[in-house]
Amino acid sequence: MHSPGQITQPFCFAAQTDTGLVRPHNEDNWGADPGHGLFVLSDGVGGAMAGEEAARIVVEWLLPHLRDRLPATSALGSKASAEAVQTALVETNAEILRHHVNQQEGNQMGATVVSLIIRGKQALITHLGDSRAYLCRNRTLLRLTRDHTLATLLLDAGYLTADEAALHHTRNRLVRFMGSGETLQPDFRLLDLFPGDQLLLCSDGLNGMLGDDHILSILNQGLPPADGCQALITAANAAGGYDNITALLVTLPA
């Protein structure tokens, strides 16, 4: 296996997770290896302990697999890097499926995943499901991921408008996620980084409560990452807190 190169882009990061005001327990999970520029966030699906366990497996398996498999000399946009991330996801997915069979879980066991890899002046975002990544740059917010939900498919096919898709009853019905048993088809997004950039990974308990304008207004306060995460979660709870809420924020110095 390869040992990934150390990141050279300076940054600060923090993450926080909260059960919210309605759910009895937290199915979200996150992990980071900042020395190698690796960040992962996952939201369990399948209900009760099945989703919580799946999200735990995603974080605990994917981080070391990314660290060990990413080639040290390849750019993040290379075919070798994409194949390394794909392999890490496949191996993590296999562990979820193995665990499900061994535990004879009654419910489907799965989880979303959104990962961030930083190397040099570039970042690679990978995701499956409806956990999101955002970029805040020059006081504007750009959504870096597109939800893998049935509502999104209906939107793309022209059956729904964007406003209708945001409220449609299929907006939380995932069509791609870890543990689905299907061939994994993650989305990749390569990003050039600039001073002052803020990268936010979040579960749908955050963006389901806060619109993009609200998220932007908080990020534009220029808070340290720990305070920014707390402000986002506080706002999501104030808006109802109907789901678990997780925010992971990486900031580059201006």
Any domain includes 61: yes
Q: Give the mean model confidence (pLDDT) for residues 15-41.
A: 96
Q: Give the mean model confidence (pLDDT) for residues 62-89.
A: 94
Which residue segment(s) compose the domain that 86 sits in? 12-239+246-251
Any domain includes 1: no
pLDDT in tens, 46-66: 665 789 999 999 999 999 999
Any domain includes 6: no
pLDDT at 182 over 90: no
pLDDT in tens, 118-155: 999 999 999 999 999 999 999 999 999 999 988 888 88
Any domain includes 148: yes
Any domain includes 7: no
Any domain includes 4: no
Here the CATH number for the domain that contains residue 153 is 3.60.40.10
**Residue whose tokens read 């609200």:** 214
Distances (CA, A) of 201 to 27, 65, 89, 95, 224: 16, 20, 18, 23, 16
Any domain includes 206: yes
Any domain includes 22: yes
What are the structure tokens assigned to 205, written together? 């308990």
Number of independent structural domains in the chain:
1
**Residue whose tokens read 């990486």:** 250
List, in order, residues 6 or more apart from 208 with CB less than 8 Å away. 242, 243
Q: Give the mean model confidence (pLDDT) for residues 33-54.
A: 89
